[in-house]
Amino acid sequence: MTTPLANYLIVAALLFSVGLAGALARRNAVLVLIGLELMLNAANLNFIAFWRFGPHAERLAGLMFVIFSIAVAAAEVAVGLALVIAVYRHRRTAQLDRLDSLKG
Amino acid sequence: MESLVKYVWIIPAAPLLAAGVGALLPAGRRRLGAGLAIGAMGVSFLLSCAAFFTTLHPGRAACNFRWFEFGDTAVPLGWVLDPLGAIMLLMVSLVSLVIFVYSVGYMAKDGNFTRFFCFMALFAAAMLGLVIANSLLLFFICWELVGLASYLLIGFWFQKPSAAAAAKKAFIVTRIGDLGLFLGMLWLYARTGTLLFYDGGHGCLEQLGAGGLAASTGISLLIFCGAVGKSGQIPLHVWLPDAMEGPTPVSALIHAATMVAAGVFLIARVYPLMSAESLEVVTWVGALTAVFAASIAVAQNDIKRILAYSTISQLGYMMMGLGVGGVAVGMFHLITHAFFKALLFLGAGSVIHSCQDEQDIRKMGGLRKLMPLTFATYAVGMMALCGVPLFFSGFWSKEAILDAAHHWRVSQAPFYLGLIGAFLTAFYMTRQVCGVFFGTPASAESGHAHESPPVMTVPLAILACLAVVAGFFGTPAWPWFQSYLEGGRAALDLSKIAAAHQLPILLLSTTLVFAAILLSGWIYLKAAARTSREMDPLEAAQPAVFACLNRKFFIDEIYDATVVRLTAVFASVSDWLDRAVWGGLVRAVSWLALALARLDRAVDEEVVNGGFDACTETVRGSGEWVSRLQNGQVQRYLRIIGLAFCALLVLLLWGSQ
Amino acid sequence: MSRLDQIFVLTGHWLAGWAPAALRPLASAVLAIACIMAVFATCFALTTLAERKLLGRMQNRFGPNRVGPCGLFQPVADGVKMLIKEDIVPFSADKTLHFLAPIVLTVPIWLAFAVLPFGRNMTAIDLDGGILFFFAIGSASELAVFMAGWSSQNKYSVVGAMRAIAQMISYEVPLVLSTVPVLMLAGSLSLNDIVAAQGTYAFGWLARWNVFTPWGLAGLFLFLIAATAESNRSPFDLPEGESEIIAGYLTEYSGFKYALFFLGEYVGLFAGAGLGVTLFLGGWHAPVKGLEWAPSWLWFGVKFAALIFLFIWARATLPRLRLDQLLNFAWRFMVPLSLVNLLVAAAWYWTGAWPFGGAAPIRWVLCAGLFIFPYHWLGRALRGPLPPPRKYSYAE
Amino acid sequence: MLNEIIFLLCASLTLAGAVAAMMLRNLVHCALCAAGAFAGLAALYLQLDAQFVGLAQLLIYVGAIAILIVFTIMLTRGDEVRPGASIASPLWWVGLPVGALVLACLVGAIMASPSLLRLPAGAVHAPVRKIGEALMNRYVMPLQAVGLLLTAALLGAVAIGLREPRDAESKTQ
């Protein structure tokens, strides 16, 4: 616990690493997607923290970035999960290691 | 005039549009096709009237625009509105309109009705475009379009071999003249740098004011070549009688309003270019043609052929008029001739139509009672053509030509040739009328003839009126036409008819005409009871001369024996040259090329391909090695990305120190 | 400000004054929470009774009338029964989630009351983005429903939960969209500001409640329909449709946990009604000038009760929908219509700048027309073609 | 003091939720834990005075994305735990060091950063009105782009998720 900013940044780093490790270690596509979401959220937390501790908080740049990032994440999740469902319908599995065919 | 000239382009554009739309119509839409063409022609006619009335105030307006440019050279096109063009516009659109209406009746049973009107509209559009053209280039384009349309129309019944041959002949023969026109055009462009007629003082016709054109004799003679081809002058007249193979309205259109008039109009349009020498040539060619064609007409038996030779002859008169008397004289005869010749052709069409497509006058006769209206209008046309005095337009226009010829300073010969032509004209026309309308029917078809429907007779009546009235605009007593073209004002002065220098010529030609009519009438009315197997009275009297005339002075045979044979010989020589000499050369080159190619192939296969194969093997091998990284396991990608991220971070943070 | 109007505020200050200065904010917060919970828990009890009695009246029978005077103690008896019932957890159930689900459902719903203004100066937390808070908190209930259904490991429960989630997600869209015109015209997300925006009087006597505008009236009805669906009440009560799937996600719950779900459902309804009052019915404002002497919380309560009555009435009147009808109704009717309502509100705002006199009726007719035509078309499109006449193959 | 306790609570909720989401066997538990992590993050945002973002995070991540994930798990039968089946990917032991390496790098970078000495710049107020004005003025183009993106994503998700008619036919046969 050095300074407040460092706390948030380290929490974000931990969250990011947990997400990354999960995305690397789990088999299920949905969980990999959750891991990616965690990484994205870690980045968002960084933005908010830097906005809060930055010198130009009134410009709202960090906040705006997070707002757009959340919107984009929503779109990404919608499409990603639709893809998972479509793949599952075709292959009867959502296990990533079984989905390595590069041809339709 | 300035305001109207911007819209003059609509006059040819309307029938052109009708032709374009008509070409897309299905064959069954007959009423629409005809209505479109006639409606478009009506629009053109109304606009032509408007254009004509604006030109009553003397002046000339041109509207030029840039068509395209290459390099520094711009090619301008444009149209012009002046009295010469306006009167032509009026005549062409009016006659075309009347002929269109007539065609509705004449072509009623034809299966390709829609196509016919499409071609007719194209024909009229091309002619109208030619009339308004202010550039020799645009003129030439329309000129060729006229040729194309005439080809299509003469060969309209292309199932008949004779029609197909006639269309081809018309196209090729006129093309010989067009070659001259094209050369003249190029020469003119080389000398003046412009092909615009009028361009605010820079047009090719306007540059002549300052001293004239050095080469204008050559240029004008070349241009005259085109007119000779189009207007059927000696020696390129051979296509015109054959053009009778087309439907009769087409013949009427070709002979009266459009095609043959184009040549005369060309000379009238470029009249400032014509030097005295070339005008002499024009005069001589015209005078010779007039007599030559008239004499052939005497011995013809086909009703349309007689009219065709008469057209050639009258065109000769027009050329002669242009040569000796200027634009006004020639153009006046062109206009009057357009009306009565259209009338005569349409009348002949009416006759042919009612006689089940019979064209031989020896098989006709006695139609006067069966087709009274046709007879009456035909008689008006015949008298106008013969030049029966005072009340018929042909008289006044021919008198103007003869008068001008009489006063020609170079020679009196054209004048006498003209007189002979007038005599012959009256003779053969009387012969024709006697053969067709008097006596008794010589065949079953003519016996069952009947009057044509109103859609055909009404145009005849209109044209008959015009054939009478048109003459009064150019009498010596009231030379309105001449002053209109020259921008002056005419005054009525009856005493001029009786002027000392006019009267003897008037009387002389009148006497000749009446003598010819009486002579011919006496010969042929007496023989009107003959059957078709009997010989013509003239033939009985002078078989050799008649045969010569009947075979058109053997011109076609001469051409066959000389020009065509020569061409054929030349073609076979060319063929031999091509096969033996050039072919051998080409074969030698090809062997050489083949040998080189073999060598090349060897090099290619051994050296180049080998090298490439080695390269591609390497690339493929490395590709295979790299592709092992991309095995579809997305988590492996993510792993690599994570490692790469670490490497990047380390590099960014600590690498720079 | 009359004493009566501020009686709760003043009492709260007085009570918090007893606490040490450092803990005073905490004390007032606890006080507010306690008040809200007490009041609305009582409301819950009374509403269950009122509902049963009203339903009875509407169905031509007496409601509960055995326990206490006029059956007034019926809720107490029910509560005691619930508490002393055995808490059964199915053998194969996911015990943790089965336990957590009612809590996750109930807690956020209570939190939602924090931003509602119950009267003048009577807002627990005046949040800048109050309505956003309301919806954000409310979204947790979907997860709770899923937890309840899935953890029971019962096919009926899972189906019921899935139905409930599909329905709640679908109706959340028109619910939020129907509130957007209000936010747009008030220019704020704060519920206090929205109430304040409705506090003036038109023509000198009629309050400018949003419901007195075309878009407000339409918005109120859209909002009420969506809120009914959100709280899984009749006619949108398929997730618990007892004739089809027993009791949906509640099947495996009993005793106190069931009571919590029951409570959560009603409190959610209260929250919706409170938000409706705040957004469309002028909050705690009096309807006409001259009635301000009545305390503001009383006005809120009256309107609140009216809306609750409306919900009960609808439950007694309307039959249950089929699932496809329900979803079609949401996506093909409610969502487009609430978007149209947004446009109508924009038109209303725009025509508000019309300077000429007599603009008000034109404005009204224009905006009403803008809404009524899409309403008509969408309604016809929703109904679809009539089914073919029924054929009786064996009856004759 | 109070702030730090709240921060510790929220951070531990977030991290615990994240770790649990990545480690639990049952996918439904994972999804719910992830929702908990998202909620903890929302609390962190709120603590950082980012009220709007925090509430939006709650509304979107907990209210929408978590529900979507749960739905997907149900549709792909991810909730059926097969005893004995591995939940980890074949090379899972490579993933953990990579994650640890990234963490080390990140922490190293954070600790080396000069911006750590910054202190919170007084009371930061980001009212919704200001955010709205910024969205409508300076950030209006990104806003439009995001609207377009969301529409496209909606259509794309529907298009992908729709059952192909050919597929349905072959099922019925």
Of B618, B643, B640, B621, nearest in space to B631 by CA: B640
Measured between beta carbons, the chain A residues lying within 8 angstroms of D117 are: 3
Confidence of residue A16 (pLDDT cuts 50, 70, 90): very high
Q: Which of residues 48-77 of A touch D (CB under 8 A)?
A: 48-55, 57-58, 60, 63-64, 66-68, 70-77
For residue A28, the distance in angstroms to the closest alpha carbon of chain B comes to: 11
Average pLDDT taken over every residue of chain B = 83
Buried-exposed string C181-204: b where 16+ CB fall within 10 A, e elsewhere: bbbebbebbbbbbbbebbeeeeee
Predicted confidence (pLDDT) at residue B384 exceeds the cutoff of 60 = yes
The answer to whether C209 and C291 have CB atoms below 8 angstroms apart is no
Q: Do A32 and B635 touch (CB under 8 A)?
A: yes
Residue A100 in contact with partner chain B when CB distance is under 8 A: yes
Calculate the CA B396 to chain-centre distance: 26
Mutation test of the interface with chain D: which of A63, A89, A95, choosing the one with the most D Cβ atoms within 10 A?
A63
Residue C209, class by beta-carbon neighbours within 10 Å (0-12 exposed, 13-18 middle, 19+ buried)? buried
DSSP B609-643: HHHHHHHHHHHHHHHHHHHTT-SS-HHHHHHHHHH
pLDDT surpassing 90 at residue B589: yes
Partner residue opposite A24 with nearest CB, options B631, B632, B635: B635
Q: Do chains C and B touch (3 or more CB pairs under 8 A)?
A: no
**Average pLDDT for residues D164-168, to the nearest whole number?**
55
- Taking CA–CA distances from D147, the nearest residue in chain A reads A71
CATH of span D1-80: 1.20.120.1200
CB of C125 less than 8 A from some CB of D: no
User: Rg of chain C over CA atoms, in angstroms?
Assistant: 23
For residues B102 and B117, is the Cβ–Cβ distance under 8 A? no
User: Which of D89, D98, D112 shows the shortest C-beta gap to B642?
Assistant: D98
Split at pLDDT 50, 70, 90, the class of D172 is very low
Sequence-distant (6+) residues with CB within 8 A of B84 are B268, B269, B327, B331, B485
Helix (H) / strand (E) containing C232: none
Instruction: Tell me the mean pLDDT in the region D26-33.
Output: 88
Q: pLDDT tens digits, residue range B232-259?
A: 888 888 888 888 888 888 888 887 767 8
CB A44 within 8 A of CB A70: yes
Is A103 part of a structural domain of the chain? no
Task: Select the more confidently predicted residue: C64 or D126.
Answer: C64
Query: What pLDDT was estimated at residue C96?
Result: 85
d(CA C109, CA B284) in angstroms, rounded, equals: 117
Query: Does residue C299 contact residue C284 with C-beta atoms inside 8 Å?
Result: yes
Give the whole-angstrom CA distance, residue C249 versus residue C146. 8
pLDDT tens by residue, B18-29: 988 888 888 778
Chains that touch B (3 or more CB pairs under 8 A): A, D
Is 50 exceeded by the pLDDT of residue B605? yes
Q: Most D CBs within 10 Å: which of C95, C145, C150, as the mutation test of the D interface?
A: C150
Q: How do residues B60-117 score in pLDDT, each as one tens digit?
A: 788 888 877 777 777 888 888 888 888 888 889 998 998 898 888 888 888 888 888 9
Instruction: Look at residue D171 in the predicted model and tell me its pLDDT.
Output: 47
Interface B-D, measured as beta-carbon pairs within 8 A, has a size of 26
Does residue A61 lie within any of the structural domains? yes
* C150 interfaces chain D, CB cutoff of 8 Å: yes
**Mean pLDDT value of segment B260-282:** 85
Residues of B within 8 A of A20 (CB-CB) are 638, 642
**Residue reference for tokens 């990140």:** D106
CB contacts of D89 in chain A (<8 Å) are 24-27, 96-97
D-proximal residues of C, 182-201, CB under 8 Å:
187-190
Write down which chains contact chain D via at least 3 CB pairs under 8 A.
Answer: A, B, C
Residues of D in contact with A6 (CB under 8 A): 110-111, 116
Cα B555 from chain centroid? Answer: 22
d(CA C7, CA A25): 61
**Residue of B389, B388, B412 lying closest to B402 (CA atoms):** B412
* Structural domain boundaries enclosing A31: 5-92
Q: Give the residues of chain C that fall short of pLDDT 50.
A: none
D95:B639 CB<8 A: yes
| Chain C residues closer than 8 Å to D79 by CB | 150
Please tell me which of the candidates B635, B646, B653 has its beta carbon nearest to residue D101: B646
Residues 6+ apart with CB under 8 A from B560: none
Residue B45: is its pLDDT beyond 50?
Answer: yes
d(CA A85, CA A79): 10
Does any CB of chain D come closer than 8 Å to the CB of residue A6? yes
Say whether A21 and D95 touch across the interface (CB within 8 A). Answer: yes
Looking at the 3D structure of chain A, how many domains does it have? 1
- With CA atoms as reference, the chain A residue closest to B632 would be A100
Indicate which of B639, B652, B656 best probes the interface with D, i.e. most D CBs within 10 Å of its own CB. Answer: B639
pLDDT at B210: 45
Give me the residue spans of the domains in chain D.
1-80, 125-173
* Residue C202 phi, psi dihedral angles, 5° rounding: -95, 150
Looking up tokens 């009306």, which residue turns up? B339
Domain locations along chain C: 7-44+74-379
pLDDT score for B501: 64
Is pLDDT of B464 > 70?
A: yes
User: Quick check: D76 and A84 in contact, CB under 8 A?
Assistant: yes
- pLDDT above 80 (res B566): yes
Measured between CA atoms, the residue of chain B closest to residue A24 is: B635
Tokens for C310, please give them.
Answer: 């409306």
Query: CA C218: distance to chain centroid?
Result: 16
Per-residue model confidence (pLDDT) at position B291: 87
Higher pLDDT, C88 or B590: B590
Contacts of A102 in chain B (CB under 8 A): 630, 632
Instruction: Please name every residue paired with C370 in a beta bridge, in sequence order, or none if there are none.
Output: none
Please indicate whether, in this complex, the C-beta atoms of B653 and D98 are within 8 angstroms of each other: no
ipTM over 0.90: no
Residue of B626, B629, B631, B635 to mutate, interface with A, max A Cβ within 10 Å: B635
Looking at residue C224, its pLDDT comes to 92
Q: How far apart are CA B515 and CA B168, in angstroms?
A: 41
Q: What is the pLDDT of residues B619-654, one digit of tens each?
A: 999 988 887 777 777 778 888 888 888 888 888 877
